[in-house]
């Protein structure tokens, strides 16, 4: 992996002086074209060994190009807001919008490599981290991002020499700390672990470029030219590269039976029993969210369902048991323009609760495989890849301590019609019914198919779907509360 970066690459001063102005002008040109077309975001990962010129190269890039449209992110210890969320949250919140460039100086590679070398992480855990990275970068590429990863390499001898040189100069002495020397002792392990990381994550859509770090002119010019070539290729392409080839869309079950048919819509409950049980469940939920153990967890509630299935009512029965300061409800609507310039899941990542908090999503990240699929708002390849992206997202949530409950509120088309008509009659509910609701109704069978596929592909052991029998609003609310209480209890006990 690193052999070609130990051959003593050099660029002489004259060549550099001749090439640099041309490169700068072309980079600037490409940068402005990107900005004006807003076609895609650029994600640059800058990684590698200490002292190999990462900082100098980033500084050179920001000097050559217009720094107003480059966001450089260094990552120290997580802030407390970051620590209360999945580890990838800090990277998601730093993603550049379309048209701009984000430089990740220190990235999602740092923690896995450090943990593998310096703490007791096993090889298989390490491989899992790399797999997760692959899926993340695949998602970025599928969302249109240009992803380039630069690894700055130095031989052991060269690194030692470099540290000694930096230490000798009072102006740069501060750059070599005990930590650098400590890591140096593990040079060989770092090299081996990094090589594995690079090998397993070197993808066509997110390639590693290994840069020999000894000589400044060589490394800057290499990075600049690589970036320029990649930018130009993408800008000049008539359209974005075809998305990942995907499997064909799922088929309906050939016997025409499906999971929604198995939901019992016939049961009912009388009002008195409902009220007794409701009070009891709300009391239980109130106490559960106030348990000390919950202060290190969070609760994420995802609500999907047919129009008029009673999501709002169910949500209100849940929040009615909570302290109003402890929860947020996100009514998912059309994305804002800031959200449109980001990967699909970005608008959900930004709303994740911190520790001790509850976030209720009224409609969710499943919009992509439901309404967007059925209405054709996104390409088939987009919704097909969404299943695994969503599973990744939810896995990260759960791993970070979130308790995630997903509800699909199911009713019959007849009951929906009854409720639509009732809403139109009731003055203060007239806002709740729109033309779109009527249109969606016409596509009932397609939605059934979409829901069944969704449950099929995203009901995982860590984040199962609960299909709620919502023909009776009372029973639906009880089932939702019961599920949340059980899951919380299980998690906190």
Which positions touch its own copies (CB under 8 A)? 25-26, 28-29, 32, 35-36, 55, 58-59, 61-63, 66-69, 71-74, 79-81, 103, 105, 171, 174, 283, 287, 290, 312, 315-316, 319-320, 323-331, 336-338, 362, 427-428, 431
Least CB distance from residue 150 to its own copies, whole Å?
14
Least CB distance from residue 339 to its own copies, whole Å?
9
Structural contact between residues 360 and 303, judged by C-beta atoms closer than 8 angstroms: yes
Least CB distance from residue 180 to its own copies, whole Å?
16
Least CB distance from residue 85 to its own copies, whole Å?
12
Least CB distance from residue 192 to its own copies, whole Å?
27
Least CB distance from residue 3 to its own copies, whole Å?
29
What CA–CA distance (Å, rounded) separates 135 from 386?
Answer: 11
Least CB distance from residue 112 to its own copies, whole Å?
20
Residue number with CB closer to its own copies (326 or 374): 326
210 token code pair: 């290994």
Phi and psi, residue 103, nearest 5°? -105, 120
Checking 292-295 for CB contacts under 8 A at 24+ apart, the result is 293/492, 294/356, 294/488, 294/492, 295/355, 295/356
Residue number with CB closer to its own copies (62 or 226): 62
**Burial class, 157, CB count within 10 angstroms (exposed 0-12 / middle 13-18 / buried 19+):** exposed
Least CB distance from residue 66 to its own copies, whole Å?
7
287 token code pair: 């106490």
Least CB distance from residue 120 to its own copies, whole Å?
28
Least CB distance from residue 200 to its own copies, whole Å?
27
Residue number with CB closer to its own copies (215 or 339): 339
Query: Residue written as tokens 């016409």?
Result: 442
Residue number with CB closer to its own copies (351 or 418): 351
Residue number with CB closer to its own copies (147 or 315): 315
Structural contact between residues 403 and 488, judged by C-beta atoms closer than 8 angstroms: yes
**Measured at the alpha carbon of residue 164, what is the angle toward residues 159 and 167, in degrees to the nearest 5?**
125
Residue number with CB closer to its own copies (398 or 485): 485
Residue number with CB closer to its own copies (164 or 338): 338
Least CB distance from residue 185 to its own copies, whole Å?
25
Residue number with CB closer to its own copies (312 or 401): 312
Residue number with CB closer to its own copies (199 or 291): 291
Least CB distance from residue 373 to its own copies, whole Å?
24
Residue number with CB closer to its own copies (253 or 331): 331
Least CB distance from residue 466 to its own copies, whole Å?
20
Residue number with CB closer to its own copies (24 or 160): 24
Q: Which residues pair with 469 in a beta bridge?
A: 410
Structural contact between residues 478 and 281, judged by C-beta atoms closer than 8 angstroms: yes
Residue number with CB closer to its own copies (3 or 435): 435
Question: Quick one: which of 441, 391, 434 has its CA closest to 413?
Answer: 441
Residue number with CB closer to its own copies (103 or 259): 103
Number of other CB atoms surrounding residue 12 within 10 Å: 11
């Amino acid at each position: 992996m690193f052999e070609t970066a130990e051959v003593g690459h050099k660029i002489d001063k004259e060549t550099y002086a001749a090439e640099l102005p041309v490169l700068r002008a072309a980079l600037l040109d490409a940068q402005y074209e990107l900005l004006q077309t807003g076609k895609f975001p650029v994600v640059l990962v800058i990684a590698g060994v200490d002292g190999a010129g990462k900082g100098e190269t980033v500084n050179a890039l920001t000097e050559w190009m217009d720094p107003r449209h480059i966001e450089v992110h260094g990552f120290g210890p997580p802030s407390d807001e970051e620590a209360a969320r999945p580890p990838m949250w800090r990277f998601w919140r730093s993603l550049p919008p379309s048209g701009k460039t984000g430089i990740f100086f220190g990235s999602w590679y740092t923690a896995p490599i450090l943990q593998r070398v310096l703490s007791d992480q096993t090889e298989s855990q390490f491989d899992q981290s790399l797999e997760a990275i692959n899926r993340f970068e695949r998602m970025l590429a599928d969302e249109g991002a240009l992803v380039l990863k630069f690894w700055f390499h130095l031989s052991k001898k060269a690194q030692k020499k470099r540290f000694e040189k930096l230490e000798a100069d009072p102006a740069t002495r501060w750059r070599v700390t005990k930590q650098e020397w400590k890591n140096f002792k593990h040079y060989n392990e770092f090299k081996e672990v990094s090589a594995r990381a690079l090998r397993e994550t070197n993808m066509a859509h997110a390639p590693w470029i290994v840069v020999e770090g000894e000589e400044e002119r060589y490394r800057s010019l290499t990075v600049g030219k690589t970036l320029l070539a990649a930018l130009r290729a993408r800008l000049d392409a008539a359209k974005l590269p075809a998305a990942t080839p995907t499997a064909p869309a799922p088929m309906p079950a050939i016997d025409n039976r499906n999971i929604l048919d198995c939901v019992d819509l016939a049961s009912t409950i009388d009002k008195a029993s409902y009220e007794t049980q409701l009070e009891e469940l709300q009391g239980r939920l109130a106490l559960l969210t106030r348990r000390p153990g919950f202060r290190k967890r969070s609760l994420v509630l995802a609500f999907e369902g047919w129009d008029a299935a009673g999501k709002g009512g169910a949500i209100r029965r849940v929040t009615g048991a909570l302290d109003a300061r402890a929860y947020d409800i996100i009514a998912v609507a059309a994305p804002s323009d800031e959200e449109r310039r980001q990967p699909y899941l970005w608008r959900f990542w930004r709303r994740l609760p911190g520790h001790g908090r509850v976030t209720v999503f009224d409609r969710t990240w499943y919009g992509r495989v439901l309404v967007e699929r059925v209405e054709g708002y996104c390409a088939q390849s987009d919704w097909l890849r969404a299943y695994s992206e969503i599973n990744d997202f939810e896995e990260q949530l759960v791993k970070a301590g979130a308790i995630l409950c997903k509800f699909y509120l199911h009713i019959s088309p007849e009951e929906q019609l009854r409720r639509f008509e009732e809403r139109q009659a009731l003055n203060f509910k007239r806002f709740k019914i729109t033309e779109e609701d009527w249109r969606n109704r016409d596509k009932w069978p397609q939605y059934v198919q979409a829901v069944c596929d969704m449950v099929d592909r995203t009901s995982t052991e860590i984040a199962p779907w609960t299909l709620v029998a919502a023909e009776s609003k009372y029973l639906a609310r009880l089932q939702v509360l019961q599920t949340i209480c059980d899951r919380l209890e299980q998690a906190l006990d």
